Amino acid sequence: MILIDGKKAAAELRAELKEEVAELKSKHNKVPGLTVILIGDLTPSQIYVRNKEKSANEVGLKSEVIKYPDSIEEKTVLEKIQELNSDETVSGILVQLPLPKHIDKQKVIEAIHPSKDVDGFHPMNVGNLSSGYESSIPCTPLGCYLLIKKIEPNLSGKKAVVVGRSNLNGKPMTQLLLKENCTVTITHSKTKDLKAECLEADIIVAAVGIPELVRGDWVKKDAIVIDVGINKTDNGIVGDVHFDEVSKNAKALTPVPGGVGPMTIACLLKNTIDCFKRSQI
């Protein structure tokens, strides 16, 4: 079984991106810029944002974090986004989720100009992805996609099952696999026989949030299994896939932690650079 090393893949991607940023700097005499807006003092969000800033600096991006207290008015956030939309030094804007209850998430997402939407959540980018056009792609499914392609460069005709249909993970993952000519089944909490669906799959991507939901006898011999889940349990962090059982059947499997997680931030940097490149055309 191939243990898919997300840490190593993310480090390789960051090294490639660092070189790309250096080339862009010598060509355009400027570097891509990422601005993150952080509202409130939720510890996980602060950790994510600190890691994003650290990684952005590491590859040579210009990075900025704008912090607001929990009590900030929605209007102030929307005005700041408008200002960043017209700031030429800002290539990508990310508003760290979740937001305080009084701020409308959808309004915030739609305020970000699609060309600077590094999270790929703007309806314009969602539509472009599903139409097969160029777009920003949500970072976690993009990371999964890159890991799958490392194992199997030609996905044409493969049967893929995506478990979970969130806008963040399941739906964009489905579009990416479809674009690669996979035959994709998207499953969710109302799916009648999830085990039977999974048993058909050459590729399984699990993004559910239920610890160890996908069991060993749900997985066909030699399937590629990507575990997006991050679940806190009494036994520590586990994924949505039962690692020990599935590793006996799968051809390749991502561990949790150390699989999909590290790719997410690396893909945010990639998206920022791609937004910059598109703005220079």
Catalytic residue positions, numbered? 52, 96, 119
Which region among 106-114, 145-153, 223-231, 271-279 touches ligand NAP (by CB under 6 A)? 223-231
Please state the closest distance from residue 237 (CB atom) to ligand NAP, in A: 10
Contact 81, 114 (CB under 8 A): no
Residue 266 engages ligand NAP in binding (rule: CB under 6 A) = no
Residue 242 engages ligand NAP in binding (rule: CB under 6 A) = no
Contact 174, 145 (CB under 8 A): no
Residue 207 engages ligand NAP in binding (rule: CB under 6 A) = yes
Q: Which of residues 6-35 bind ligand NAP (CB under 6 A)?
A: none
Which of 4, 85, 83 is CA-nearest to residue 257?
Answer: 4
Q: Token pair for residue 67?
A: 């912090």
Q: Token pair for residue 10?
A: 């993310």
CA Rg value for the chain = 19
- Strands in the chain per DSSP E: 2-3, 33-39, 62-68, 92-95, 159-163, 183-187, 203-206, 224-227, 231-233, 236-238, 252-253
Of 59 and 226, CB closest to ligand NAP = 226
Q: Which of residues 174-203 bind ligand NAP (CB under 6 A)?
A: 187-191, 194
CA angle 119, 120, 121 (to 5 degrees): 90
Contact 219, 250 (CB under 8 A): yes
> How many CB atoms are closer than 10 A to CB 40?
17
CA angle 39, 43, 45 (to 5 degrees): 50
Q: Which residue has the tokens 């097969």?
A: 132
Contacts of 47 (CB under 8 A, 6+ apart): none
Residue 45 engages ligand NAP in binding (rule: CB under 6 A) = no
Residue 38 engages ligand NAP in binding (rule: CB under 6 A) = no
Considering only 31, 168, 198, 224, the residue that binds ligand NAP (CB under 6 A) is 168
Considering only 142, 160, 260, 269, the residue that binds ligand NAP (CB under 6 A) is 260
Considering only 231, 258, 277, 279, the residue that binds ligand NAP (CB under 6 A) is 231
Residue 225 engages ligand NAP in binding (rule: CB under 6 A) = no
Please state the closest distance from residue 140 (CB atom) to ligand NAP, in A: 4
Considering only 14, 158, 165, 270, the residue that binds ligand NAP (CB under 6 A) is 165
Of 155 and 260, CB closest to ligand NAP = 260
> For ligand NAP, what does the binding mask look like between residues 107 and 146, x meaning CB under 6 A?
---------------------------------x------
Which of 34, 29, 270 is CA-nearest to residue 136?
Answer: 270
Of 93 and 213, CB closest to ligand NAP = 213
Please state the closest distance from residue 235 (CB atom) to ligand NAP, in A: 15
DSSP state of 98: S
Residues that bind ligand NAP (CB under 6 A): 140, 163-166, 168-170, 187-191, 194, 207-210, 228-231, 260-261, 264
